[in-house]
Amino acid sequence: MRNNRLVLALLIPQVAIVSAADRKPVTDDYISDAVMQRLAADAVVKGGDLKIDVKAGIVTISGSVHSLKQKDKAEHVAKKVNGVKGVVNNIKIEKP
């Protein structure tokens, strides 16, 4: 039993070091691409005419959608992308 604890105690720090080493800094280009892909794949937002701009992890979404639900969902989707520090939602609602 003590040997098992010792082995676990020795392995856990190794796993943490490997995990930390595998993480790469997230670039603005990566964030922009990821946000666009997720917005295009989202059933609520899909079809919106949106533009994404990213500077230092801050995502600015502009363009137009047809409903408040789409506008809010676009912001929510963008916030969930890895590396996003904040979202500026400049989306306009235009009725078809």
pLDDT of residue 22: 61
Confidence of residue 96 (pLDDT cuts 50, 70, 90): confident
CA dist list (Å): 2 to 11, 15, 46, 50: 14, 20, 56, 59
92, 64 Cβ separation under 8 angstroms: yes
pLDDT of residue 14: 55
Whether residue 19 is predicted with pLDDT greater than 80 in this model: the reply is no
pLDDT in tens, 26-82: 999 999 999 999 999 999 998 678 999 999 999 999 999 999 999 999 999 999 999
Name all domains of the chain by residue range, CATH numbers in brackets.
25-93 (3.30.1340.30)
57, 32 Cβ separation under 8 angstroms: no
The reported pTM is: 0.74
Residues 78, 82, 87, CA angle at the centre, nearest 5°? 35
Whether residue 21 is predicted with pLDDT greater than 80 in this model: the reply is no
